Amino acid sequence: MEIIPAIDIRGGKCVRLYQGDYARETVFDEDPVKVAVRWRGLGARRIHVVDLDGARAGRRVNAEIVREIARAVDCAVQSGGGIRDLPTLRETLDGGVERAVLGTAAVKDPELLRQAVAWAGERLIVSVDARDGLVSLEGWTEATDLPAEAWIGQLSEAGVGRIVYTDIGRDGRLEGPNYEMYERLTAETSVAVIAAGGVTTTEDVGRLRECGVEAAIVGRALYTGDIDLLGALAAAR
């Protein structure tokens, strides 16, 4: 299983939001590029970069920082936030990012999803962010009545090969992931699942590996020191 450090960018800085609340922000570093270099130096093989400003604005805001990160590290970078049309998806992938992440646009624009699957193939990830089992959009600010598991089934039928599933209720709380959901997803769907939200300890990493997820994104716990990247990488093997 892969461990993927997360870098969330807002206002050009590396931040974390508590449960996606833009009013509850903690700045962990002024320089996201430096942070990426640090995680790569500790052994990360992939880094997950989110343009939080872009997710909220509906357009990429921190695209240049994402490109700088991709140039600065000799590992894979995947990125999302504000990708709402095919030209932006192409621009993202042409800018050095290995995988691009669609979230809101995948739900709201079925034709874009179809085109993205056809054009990007394995380089496409769809982010499924759920609160109480229902999909949330627009940087977690817009609730829907779309059940997450039903949506993942539709994504599989549409040819999507990989998702990031985030349980918003677990994100940033350092209380552990939603193991039951990950067990169901890996057992009942053909898509590769990347877990996000609540990964706090090396024990969490071991349990997620047993759930059969492809990777785990680790965010706040890395920045607070609750989890050590080297330890997490070892636990994932």
* Predicted pLDDT at 140: 73
Whether 173 has a pLDDT exceeding 60, the answer reads no
Average pLDDT score over the chain: 93
Structural domain for 63, as ranges: 2-236
Mean pLDDT of 54-71: 95
Over residues 100-156, the pLDDT tens digits come to 999 989 999 999 999 999 999 999 999 999 988 999 988 777 889 999 999 999 999
User: Which residues have a Cβ under 8 Å from the Cβ of 50 and sit 6 or more positions away?
Assistant: 6, 7, 8, 9, 79, 80, 81, 101
Residues 20-27 have a mean pLDDT of 82
Residues 6-21 have a mean pLDDT of: 88
Place 27 in a pLDDT band, splitting at 50, 70 and 90. Answer: very high
| Domains identified in the chain, total number | 1
Catalytic residue among 51, 53, 129, 167: 129
What does the alpha-carbon distance between residue 62 and residue 58 come to, in Å, rounded to a whole number? 12
**Cβ-proximal residues to 65 (8 Å cutoff; 6+ apart), any chain:** 9, 12, 32, 33
Q: Given this model, what pLDDT does residue 209 score?
A: 97
CATH of the domain at 121: 3.20.20.70
Active site residue 167: no
Q: What is the pLDDT of residue 25?
A: 85
**What is the rounded CA–CA span in Å between residue 134 and residue 128?**
9
pLDDT at 21: 73
**Is 129 noted as a catalytic residue in this protein?**
yes
